[in-house]
Structure 1
Amino acid sequence: MYNIFGWYIIILKDYDMNTEIVSRLCGRKLNIWTDFLKNASLEADMSVKQTVLVWDGDSLIATGSRDGNILKCIAVDSAHQGEGLTSTVITELRKSAFEEGFTHLFLYTKPKNKDMFSSLFFYPVEQTGDVLLMESIKDGMENFLNTLPVKSTKGVIGSAVMNCNPFTLGHLYLAETAAADCDHLYIFVLSEDKSKFSAEDRINMVRLGVQHLKNVTVLPTGPYMISSATFPTYFLKNRESAAQIQCGLDIEIFTKHYAPKFSITKRYVGNEPLSPMTAEYNRALKENLPQKGIELIEIPRLEDGGNPISASYVRKLLESGELDKVKKIVPSTTYEYIKANKLF
């Protein structure tokens, strides 16, 4: 818009613009998309299932992607900022998500983008100095937590967050040790479906495995606590710090929302001799949780033949059909569940 002799003149740019949604980018479009994100200081996330591409002729001017209910890699060419292209991208991603049954969407972004996405009806969940988590439903986390039962608020309340892919004797040992150390223990099982075993199967195996522990309640985490395999890193300058950044966000979410809801004052983890990333995560928890009034207790891993029992080893045995070896390192409830549901 220009002011010429008191008249405001609007210059309309003539765009040959079109929008498309592509599943599994490849070839020339993949290269263009990757370079476009790089110019926007973003890394291409190859886990995305659908990508919106907005073209001006042969030039890519805006993009955004989706992996299930998580929006990723949203960027607009600097020459086209302020033209409503972010809204165009988000609208297309919402439509495609709705068609697949996803009505509750999330995005991880830099905190500086809060106002932009708020204007597009995304609501802040929690943030740190490095990352902001937003969702498409207002007060979604509090609404979710209100659906979970609070079994006890008396005495010492402990917690453990597990994936249990599947539930092993190592997980059972941690649960029994933690349950003996507190008056009530909440085990939160990750709800994301990025594992060999579905969220439903994993939580069923945990509930069956700890049913003899009368002071234990098993609950889903919902979509607010995720594993390192799912945490987006495309917007981070230093991807090697992803585990630390994810842990920082998890701490904020856990201490500000989950812990107050359930009166949690202890969190239990298994020590981690096999995964450097998980070991780093545990170190960050140990350093930061006490500052939030929560004691972190690290429990030694249960071993079999001198080796820590791990879910990854169980999965490997299942893939090779060695059920006899699986039977030795999982609870009988897990073994029978896997056999009954043909999960091998």
Structure 2
Amino acid sequence: MINIETLNLNSNYQKNELKDFLKKFDLTFDDSIDYSLVIRKDEEIIATASKSKNIIKCFAIDDSLRGEGVTNTLVTTLLNKSFDEGVFHNFVFTKPLNEDIFKGVGFKSISKTDKVALLEIGMNSIDKTIDKIKTQLNWQENKNNGLLIMNCNPFTLGHQFLIEYASEKMDNILILVVEEDKSSFPFNDRIELVRKGTSHLSNVTVLPSTEYVISSATFPNYFLRKEDDSLLEFMKLDTLITAEHFCSKLNINTRFVGEEPYCRITQKYNETMIETFKNFNLNVSIIPRKVMGEKAISASRVRELLKNNELEELKTLVPQSTFEYLNSEKGKEIAERIKHSDSVH
């Protein structure tokens, strides 16, 4: 009889026990975890699996338990917990060697690198997501189509310049606005500002990025701004999903990105993307940033000016629609919050 125990994440002792067990499998405990299960033998942890919202991670089973049906028990318990929370679409991060184990309990593969595999189960799927995007695009197969993935926190003249440049070069442009709500400005406002700031471009379509692009599932380090051993693998995974699923299936041949003079993580991401895209015969076009006052325009610069209430200089860095939003009651409330926190680009 296998007894599953819910780990007390408020107990440093129990959490350290789990961390020590994970180390044996070259895994690190993720601070975003909200629910952990363990199986013990003689009070020692011999199996574990955790979740962070709808993402299963930190899965490890001692060799002595292989073939005992432990995976099924752990995963079913985690999925039931998600169902109780009203979540019906789940991902799992695991090592490629565990991929078949999860396929055996119903998961489907999305993409994998040498070191990490991402699978999913539930009501949604990446194929359904791509099919839905296809219905929102009216592209002919022989056209040159481009892609931009942007957070726009908030939308600046730099973003607008990059989109206008891409729009001139390609027949059609798809902009995916990062949907994950971990930025200073909420997603619904960010995507609305992008739509207003590109309304003069008839060949541009603006859509949510979905949970498959720069999300907690594909690239959690982006939101943590955390550089560690997993960073490169998450970059590889995210760019692989973009190339393999979005570009290849949506008939996109070029991804446009802005040159990154300030952020090392974004710079490394661009380098990784170029390597990934080569394998799919896809192009990456890196565009020099629009400069204002000898400095590249960036969303972080806009947030800094907003924080310091320097509205006159800020006005020179954003479209009128963004400025009006920043000067609204909602914009002022967000400015107050920014004064007390740092956020991603």
In structure 2, the partner of 1:78 is 63
- Retained in 2: the 8 A contact 1:18–1:56? no
Deviation at 1:32, TM superposition (A): 0.8
- Alignment check: 8 A CA contact 2:174 2:205 kept: yes
Once the two structures are TM-superposed, the CA of residue 19 in structure 1 deviates from its matched residue by 1.8
Aligned to 2:139: 152
5+ long unaligned stretches in structure 2? 222-226, 336-345
Q: CA deviation at 1:176?
A: 1.0
Rounded Cα–Cα distance in structure 2 between residues aligned with 1:83 and 1:328? 64
Contact 1:179 1:215 in 2 (8 A): yes
TM-score (norm 1): 0.84
Identity of aligned residues (%): 37
Contact 1:243-1:281 at 8 Å conserved across structures: no
When residues 187 and 340 of structure 1 are mapped into structure 2, their CA distance, relative to the original with a 3 A threshold, is: farther
| 8 Å Cα contact 1:302-1:309 kept in structure 2 | yes
Q: Deviations over 1:43-77 (max 9, x none)?
A: 11112222223344633232222222211111223
State how far apart, in whole Å, the 1-side matches of 2:51 and 2:308 are: 34
Aligned length: 324
> Any unmatched runs of 5+ in structure 1?
1-13, 234-238
Equivalent residue, structure 2, for 1:255: 243
Distance (whole Å) between structure 1 residues aligned to residue 323 and residue 217 of structure 2: 26
Identify if the C-alpha distance between structure 1 residues 19 and 320 changes in structure 2 by more than 3 Å, giving closer, same or farther: farther
**In structure 2, C-alpha distance between the alignment counterparts of 1:116 and 1:134, rounded to whole Å:** 11
Call closer, same or farther: CA 1:56–1:328 in 2, change over 3 Å. farther
Is 1:302 aligned to 2:290, yes or no?
A: yes
Cα drift, residue 280 of structure 1: 1.8
**1:61 aligned residue (24, 46, 65):** 46
Structure 1 match to 2:16: 31
Cα RMSD between the aligned structures? 2.6
The residue aligned with 2:115 is: 130
**Please, which of 296, 299, 321 is the counterpart of residue 333 of structure 1?**
321
CA contact (8 A) 1:123 1:138 kept: no
Following the alignment from structure 1 to structure 2, what is the Cα–Cα distance between the partners of residues 138 and 310?
38
After superposition, residues 201-212 of structure 1 pair within 5 angstroms as 201-212=189-200
Aligned residue among 220, 228, 234 for 1:246: 234
**Is the contact between residue 188 and residue 220 of structure 1 (CA under 8 Å) also seen in structure 2?**
yes
What does 1:202-281 align with in structure 2 at a 5 Å threshold? 202-226=190-214, 231=219, 240=228, 242-281=230-269
Deviation at 1:253, TM superposition (A): 2.1
Alpha-carbon distance between aligned partners in 1 of 2:230 and 2:290, rounded to the nearest angstrom: 28
Cα shift at 1:319: 4.1
Pairwise CA distance, 1:210: 0.8
Equivalent residue for 2:158, pick from 170, 178, 183: 170
Deviates more, 1:239-248 or 1:80-89: 239-248
Amino acid at match of 2:240: E
Change (3 A) 1:308 1:287: same
Cα shift at 1:245: 2.7
CA distance in 1, matches of 2:258, 2:306: 23
Q: CA deviation at 1:18?
A: 4.4
Letter in 1 for 2:246: Y
Q: Does 1:120 align with 2:105?
A: yes
Cα distance in 2 between the residues matched to 1:322 and 1:21:
48
